[in-house]
Structure formats: C-alpha cells, structure tokens
Structure 1
C-alpha cells in the first residue's frame, strides 16, 4: 500500500494498543479473551494487518470499552474509503461499481482523465467494454453480471450529451494499439473515438509516441471537478479527496496535456492506428 495508507493503519494500531494497555491487558491476555492468535494482536497493533469491522468491535468489547466501537469503526472506514480492494468492491458484481460511477458522473461538471493502455470507459463501445469486463473477471477469478455491467457503462455515457458537462481526456497513443479484443471490435472502437472529436462536451487529446514529456505518465487516473481523484491499481481502487493529492494529480494532468495533440492531429493518429488493423 502507499505511505499514506500505512501511516493511517499504524495510527489505528497505536490507538488499539493504547486501549489495551489502559485496560491492563497484555497482548496474550487480549488474544485469549478474543480467541485470536497472539500474532494477530501484534500485527494489528503494529500496523501490519488491517482489522475488520468485526475485529474492532471485538477489541472494544475485549478491553471493556464497548462505547468506543463507533470511534474505531470511523477510523477503519477512513482507510476503506480511500483504498477499496477490487475483490470487496466486486463482490456484488461489476454492475454495482458502474452504478456508483454514474452517481459520481452525475454530481460532476468536469471530468479530466488519463488512460495509458485502454480507451476511457466513457468512450467505449459495448463490445469493447464487454471484452474488458470478461478479461477482468477471468483475471480476478470472480463471477459477475457482465451484460448488466455493459448496459450500465453505456447508460453512463448519456452524460456525454448533457449540456454543461465537460469530459477532458488524455490518451497515450499506445492505448490506440493495445488490443485485448478481436480486430473488428478494436476497429469499431477507434471509429467511435473519431466520431467523438468535435462533440461540444468532449476534449480528447492523444499523447504521441514521439512527444517530449515533462513527466512520463505512471498510471491512469480520473479527476472529478476539484473534489475527487480515482486511481486504479491491480488490486485496489483509491478514492483520494485530500487537497494535496488532488493538486498533485491536476499538475500531472496539466503537464501531460502540454504534450497532447487534439482535433485533426488526434484524428490522424487514431486513423493511423485504425489502418494498422488492415481491412476488417
């Protein structure tokens, strides 16, 4: 995890240790009382393991301070709000996550995004999205409602035609070539991108392979107005709403935008990638 996450987890562990010592219990005493391994108490107190909601409830009861369960749950929720494991998020399927995306999009006037290896979800065709969801489900070894997720993602795209909205996306040229679907599906996706150029609510920039960059983009991210940044990793989705993080990602977006081309130049790059697929 990140330094911020680990710092917060250590702080929670310090608080739990404080409650234990105030109660006069040793780590062994508390472990026996809760029916845990002694090592679990140690890992939690030292910030090496994230306790569950059930764990912090049990801890509060075990140290004789059940009234503090609310405080401990709040501290735990602060961690889970920013760092959400995909396995937990997708336990109810991809469609539920797409519904949350619709909610965030509805509450946002401007979304700025960077995609390095794929086409942004807001611009995806149904077939491109379907292959993406299927590959992700296989990788994560989860069973999910792919068709429901596709329908919901496409419904989210209705916001592209809402007056007053603005979607400013930067796509690394390599994403135009990275193909995780049949050539025909990828070709149709590139055609869809071209069709969006010139839409009043869309500003699409492509960062060419040969562009000089002030900073190489490390990963994809989306900025919702100036209130939220969402970053995806392999196992976690981070929702960052602190001012420092937002300003950092805004700077990253601005620096990358300096190297992007748009309009006819972007269209030429997309058309070149489309031609690479040959006759479909």
Structure 2
C-alpha cells in the first residue's frame, strides 16, 4: 500500500533530519560541539536529528553556518518549507467557501494531461452529476461546519468537468464497487448518477475500472488519491488535504495505482456492476 499521508510527511521530515546530521558529521562535529557553538541545549540537536522536532529556518541557517555548509542552507530551507506546506487543513482551505475550493483547482486540472484517481468513498468529482455533487457537498459543509454554498460549489464542480472534452487529456479512474451503492441524495439521484457514469465511460479519453466487492484483494482499501501527471499526488483525509510532490513518493502511488487497477474490471464487466447497482437504487 502507499505510505499513509501522515507517514509520508514524516518520511520527508526524517530525510531533512538525515541531511542535517550528515552535514554535522561531515564537519567533524559532535552533537555537543554543535550545540555549544550554536548556543543551544544538546537535547535540541538530538530532537532535530531524530525528526522529533522540526527545525526553524533560523535553526537551519545557524546549523549550516556552524558546520561550514552555508551553501546548503537555501536548499534545506526550501525542503523544510515543502514539508510544512504538504499538510493543509481542510478548514483553512474552506474558509472562502466550497465553491472557491473547486475553482482554485481548475488550473491544475486543465494543465494535467494524464489524471489517475482511485476513489474508495465517492464517485470521482469529474464524473459527478450536479444533484449528486450538491448532496455530497451539503454533507461536507455540515460535517466541517463551514458556510454551506453547496449549490454554487456543485455548479463549479460540474463546470470543471469540461476538461473531459479537451483534446490531449486522458483520465484513468478506479472506484470500489461499494461506491456505487453509497447513497448520496435520493434513490433517483443515485440512479441518474450511475446513468451518467455509464455515459462518461463512452468517452475515448476515459478509462474506468471497478473493483468488485467479492474479489480476493491483494491490498486493503485506502484513502482517495489523485495523481496529476507526475507532478503531484493529492490525498484526501477527513481533516486535511495532503499534497505529495517528492518523485519517489509519486512513484509509490503510481505503483499502488497499478496494483489497484489489476484488481478492477473494465468495459463490459464494469458496466454490468454499474447496472446492477443502478437497479438496486431504482428498486
């Protein structure tokens, strides 16, 4: 499975800590000597080198200066800031409303030529009907206790789906079969949503796989994630959105996407599962 987002961020913190330790060791300094020269407690060095305490920008610059590695300071500061910005609380993103959150992501969608996504909880956003999106976004607004502009946000989300019509773009998505049964809105909203999903599958740019409920799994269900080319991975948690940009971590998500895809059925078999769920909602 991919490294859980919080673990992924911790790995990045450890990588920064390892770089700082290497700089100290290359300078021939003990932790005590570095602490003495920097005017710090020795325990501060230990905490930073064990990734138990993130270094400040000032800490990094002093560390590099004392170790005679000032030329590395800018890179390490940039690395530290990337780690700090990788984890963004949903509440911070939602302050300006759910509509703004949808619109802010449009440039990323438009410049991405290959979008791969795994959805274990909801229909992929680009494939949602307006009514399904309204029901989903109402729930998000209520759960996160933010201003409920679900109607306007749903309009922005469905407008974003125009990217499906652009030439040179490909979309490879995987959903769990259970997603087809999770009821958001009325039974008719769900039936219409699944009909729309069947229609979207007709597009040459779209590949949709469904992982059957009764398959013997090679990995367990994970969080929703979207891979934008090889530029970044967006991972959705209940409390936060995590952006992964390290090439090695993106590669791990790519490998896990392929594992998930290998469990999915496509084309006629996928349509059969969608029709089966649709009949249940029409029931």
- The normalised TM-score by structure 1 is 0.77
Aligned to 1:31: none
Aligned to 1:79: 83
Q: The residue matched to 2:175 in structure 1 has which SS?
A: strand
Q: CA deviation at 1:250?
A: 1.0
Q: Considering only aligned residues, what root-mean-square deviation do their CA atoms show, in Å?
A: 3.6
2:172 aligned residue (168, 171, 189) = 168
Distance in 2 (alpha carbons) for counterparts of 1:71 and 1:109: 30
Q: CA deviation at 1:155?
A: 1.2
Residues 46 and 253 of structure 1: CA distance in aligned 2, closer, same or farther (over 3 Å): closer
Q: CA deviation at 1:75?
A: 5.4
Distance in 2 (alpha carbons) for counterparts of 1:245 and 1:239: 11
Distance in 2 (alpha carbons) for counterparts of 1:227 and 1:262: 26
Structure 1: runs of 5+ lacking an equivalent:
28-42, 61-69
Answering whether residue 88 of structure 2 is matched by residue 96 of structure 1, we say no
Distance in 1 (alpha carbons) for counterparts of 2:171 and 2:49: 44
CA deviation string 1:160-185 (max 9, x = no partner):
11121111111110000011322121
In the TM superposition, 1:1-280 aligns within 5 A as: 2-6=6-10, 8=12, 24=39, 74=78, 77-279=81-283
Q: CA deviation at 1:222?
A: 0.8
Residues 240 and 93 of structure 1: CA distance in aligned 2, closer, same or farther (over 3 Å): same
Distance in 2 (alpha carbons) for counterparts of 1:19 and 1:160: 56
Distance in 2 (alpha carbons) for counterparts of 1:3 and 1:170: 24
Number of paired residues?
Answer: 262
Q: CA deviation at 1:79?
A: 2.4
Deviates more, 1:89-98 or 1:210-219: 210-219
